[in-house]
Amino acid sequence: MAFGQRREKLRAILSGSSCVHPGSVYDATSVRIAQDIGFEVGMFGGSVASLAVLGDPDIALITLTELAEQMRRMSRAASLPVLVDADHGYGNALNVRRTVQELEAAGAAGLTIEDTLLPQVFGAAKAQLISIEEGVGKMKAALDGRSEPSLVIVGRTGAASITSLDDAIDRARAYEAAGVDALFFTGIKSRAELEAIAAATRLPIVLGGAPEEMNLLDDLAGQRVRIALQSHAPFAAATQAVYETLKALREGHSSKSLKGLASPELTGRLTREADVKARITEFLGLKR
């Protein structure tokens, strides 16, 4: 599927009337699994990007090049639309513009730009935000950086848990006026806060990190939430599975005794084995 079609699918979700959970994806196999299961959209979070590429926690160590390369690998592996957490855009507004260009070329269906001050400032124990004015400049630069209008640009703020709900609303309105396609909020703690945000803004909402009791999709849809993130549990599950498997092998257990391994049938489906064999026959002149 062409990149433009993926972006139009993401736009259809944002312009629809329902709320969906995205599949948390981080590499070629996980994005294929999410597509195989039937997720409408994938979410490539900054935290799992750092874990998958560097094995490091989410402290803004991953580079734009590393993020874009991982996105490119996923785009090649599956046609699932993927929304990418582009953090702060890897610098100032001009860096944001380049970030958009690189992720667009890598096949992202959309990306989020946040107003958190990153990386962490020396001596600052808590998260800080850039000014609204600088945030608006980043959003404008992001919009200017895309060459395909269908690429989705999402303005993100965590102000609700860092400064105040009123500040989050002010920032959202400013980013909305700048022309972003959707608004992403983290740190929302109650239904009342979400209702206040929905009443004060007009754009589709992406919600991250909300309390478990707020995750009823029909209720969220009524507040104009179109994508509601869940945890990045797939990466945690994969880490645990690899750890337990290697530990068992190290302790002398045979591979045949191990539980929870992917079957040859599942592995073959996810690696598109049948398609590869067909190409071998057609292009290499070999019989299957």
pLDDT digits (tens, 9 = 90+) for 139-178: 999 999 999 999 999 999 999 999 999 999 999 999 999 9
pLDDT digits (tens, 9 = 90+) for 32-54: 999 999 999 999 999 999 999 99
CB count, 10 Å around CB of 26? 24
Domains along the chain? Answer: 3-237 (3.20.20.60), 258-288 (no CATH)
pTM, whole model, 2 decimals?
0.96
Burial of 248 (C-beta count, 10 Å sphere; 0-12/13-18/19+): middle
Q: State residue 99's pLDDT score.
A: 98
Whole-angstrom CA distances from 131 to 48, 114, 196, 241 are 27, 12, 22, 43
Q: What is the mean pLDDT of residues 235-264?
A: 95
Indicate if the pLDDT at residue 9 is higher than 90.
yes
Asked if 26 and 77 count as a contact pair (C-beta separation under 8 A), the reply is no
Query: Which of 101, 185, 186 minimizes the C-alpha distance to 141?
Result: 101
Q: State residue 209's pLDDT score.
A: 86
Place of tokens 């959707």: 182
Q: Nearest 10 degrees: CA dihedral of 162, 166, 172, 177?
A: -140
Phi, psi (rounded to 5 degrees) for 85: -80, 105
Confidence of residue 288 (pLDDT cuts 50, 70, 90): low
Q: State residue 125's pLDDT score.
A: 86
